[in-house]
Structure 1
Amino acid sequence: MTAGIRFALWGEDEDHEDEQLWALCEDAENLFADPPEPVRRRYELRGFTAEGEIPAALGFLVVQPLHEDGAPTREWYLEHARVLTTRARGASRQDVTVEAVRSDHQPPHPAGSAAAVGFSLSDRQDRLLGHFQDLAEVPHAEEPPPHMVRLLGCEVRGPLLDVLEGREDRPLGYRYLDALDASGGLLSRAGHPHVVDRQPSARGPGLYDLTVRMDPQPPVVAGIWSLWREGRPAVPNLWAPFDSTGRELWLDPALAHREGPDRPAGGTYHLDGRHVTDAEGFFCALGEAVNGPGGYFGRCMNGVADALCGGFGAKLPFTLVWHDHEVARRSLGLQPLVGRPATFDELLAFLAGEGVEVVLA
């Protein structure tokens, strides 16, 4: 790949089946910025029947339309959800109003809602919270203005070039932007841009500067990417100085660099617990315990459960020696008004339930 290329823009072919490389770009302008405050929306879950007691702070929610023929449907996610009001509807149902943030890159409503005979509601751990008959969004304030990024010095190709130069007039399929490392390999996913304008680039003949609409990357990401620019880190705990947001974002390039076969079952892995002061730190430390510096082994408990099924570096059963575990015991716990992260004891119970023997050291 051409030296100096830092971003690759990908899209779908005309049949929406295969990915195509649409552009290689030398740089990006205005990519890093503090994101706007997420829009907290209000939704009514009408005709709700609970499977048990519903906490006021719901956290992460999974909404899934239910079809009469049992056909599978796509999940739809809400984050940082909390119950605002409940109103009785008949003897056994309620109308529940929740306030939440709609997860990124989702439609305004669950796909297949029009044909749904109802909906299921689950939490992050796939625990069924209940069922409801209909979903409605309460009208909300105006959306924040879109964020614009300029991709500079782009060598454009394929359908995107045909559209930009007027040879075709058609909507373009799904697209995403990759940040590239110094060798031209994938560093991390960078976002989902929508091209809105282009100009000839001063960086060379035949190149374009593309204006795209996309969410910005938090400023901390620039520092994270600099640590991955020359490839996967060779020393552990480079994530430790970051706050919980930075630690969570550290796992994006870690996932992109996942490689290698599983090691045989029965192994022993050592988790450095000195910096496990939050849930994000646990997942960073667990990834490095199993797969070395920059390693990945899930970014939430569901992700760890998936990793334990194989393909992420280790096979069950195995032993995890958790050094300096008292740091996590003191630090992990409740957070007000949001879905709480797992406590230390809950993490231990989860790992044991998945077949991991944990030794506290």
Structure 2
Amino acid sequence: MRKFISYIICVITLLVMVQCDNKGGVKEETIPFLQKNGGTVQLMVNDEPFLMIAGELHNSTSSTVEYMEPVWARLKSMNLNTVLAAVTWELLEPEEGVFDYHLVDVMLQKARENDLRLCLLWFGSWKNGESSYVPGWVKKDTERFFRVKNKDGKNIETISPFCREARKADAKAFGALMKYLSEVDKERTVILIQPENEVGVFQEIDYCSQALAGFEKEVPEKLMTYLEDNKDMLNQHVKEIWESKGSLKAGTWKEVFGDTLLLKNFLWHGSTLTISMRWLGWERSNIRYPCLSMHGWCNIRNSCREDILRVDRFRVLLTFIKPLPVTLIF
């Protein structure tokens, strides 16, 4: 009889423990993704279509918990369901190798308390074509983290996309953020992340030696194949420049496109886009997390040409960038 009673007590204890564990645990939701329904592509959150009614904070609004405290209630009162907020490299990694996730933790907590989703904007090496949100230890070391040069050979504020040390440091910080979110955000409060903000520069190109040497290098074979296979779909301006050089199927950037503004922007933005994506370390991290959105800074004076590069540049360049475990939204 005693054995039977002991058995019953053990069973009841086990059931209570399981019940408590279920109540205290957090169900891990499905990672947001894009799904095509007919002619429409929808953002799916928890396996259901999600229409973002979003508000975006000013650049530095989310930089302190105190400043944000009254903002959350105002956001909720506006009947929003999503907030676009920045996570800056300078605050995430104030000292090299030392990461501070306090602001991220509070942001997740407050968003959940107010029934809001988050789209985090990573202000890393770029923010509006400048490097204003990099950590102080990056800003001070202009040798290790060298800057873009202007025509006169002088440094400007923006870190050069050809700087390998900056690429590694930015990738490490962003990768740390992604890994942390994958561990603590089981509820998928964060549904989108923007890696880098308006990649580019307020001049035609970087006049550093590495960039200038690029003009003499071969155009990637996949880009040339794309141009050849889609010649009837190319913007007229792109097509005319290419044809004026004989519609070459191979050659250096100067040989294929001539020494034109289009050439410089194709090469510049191709380099910055490719490098910025690699900075994120997606190939190494293999972290399954939300869809990502990004956009670039296009310093083109002619609005028609801006459209050319905004459409053709991304469509073309994405064909020769290694496939990544993310979805890009433009």
Same fold (TM over 0.5): no
Bigger strand fraction: 1
TM-score, L = length of structure 2: 0.26
TM-score, L = length of structure 1: 0.24
Bigger helix fraction: 2
